Amino acid sequence: MIKTLNYLIVTCFGIGSIRFAPGTITSLITTIFLYSLFHIINLSNNTILIILLIVFIYSFYAVSEYIKFSENKDPKEVVIDEFIGQSIPIYLYEISHGTVKDSQEAVLFYLYIFILFRYFDIKKPFPVNLFDRKFKNSFGVIIDDVVAGLYVVLTLIIFMVIKSKFL
């Protein structure tokens, strides 16, 4: 039972088993899922935060158990890290400035966030690449995507500052 639950969590309910671009597909589905929670279902920010924190914390255990007897410590089918990394900039965008976001504006920002996250996750600039190389455990699997998500946040902040000062 727990082994099945861990498999479902680490593969995001089987999305990781898709042969072509499972990380990108997971990031896209995560983007659509979070848009739905924030803009269609209108779930509270606190409820979404609790869900994301539970997933984040449980993922360390689930990934650890999943890769325990595997030679590959970052298997392609493990995509919960993409869910977590993609969720960080989306959640922070939604709670920023304490204002309600217009759905059309949100679609554009979600698209920017999706593209930027995939870029940083694939290119793995420093220190993303350091975590990816150095830590061959659940921490390494998850934290490199967390850092990629934080790079997205930093990029958007820089963009917004430049936009407000010069445009």
Q: pLDDT, tens digit, for every residue of 62-111?
A: 999 988 877 776 788 999 999 999 999 999 999 987 777 788 889 999 99
Highest mean pLDDT among 103-107, 115-119, 162-166: 115-119
Provide the domain limits for residue 76: 2-11+20-166
Q: Are 60 and 138 in contact (CB under 8 A)?
A: yes
SS3 5: helix
How far, in Å, CA of 88 to CA of 83, rounded?
A: 9
Tell me the average pLDDT across 111-131: 90
Number of domains in the chain: 1
Token match 């890769």: residue? 67
Q: Which pLDDT does position 133 carry in this prediction?
A: 76
How far, in Å, CA of 164 to CA of 39, rounded?
A: 26
Q: Are 90 and 31 in contact (CB under 8 A)?
A: yes
Q: Specify the pTM.
A: 0.91
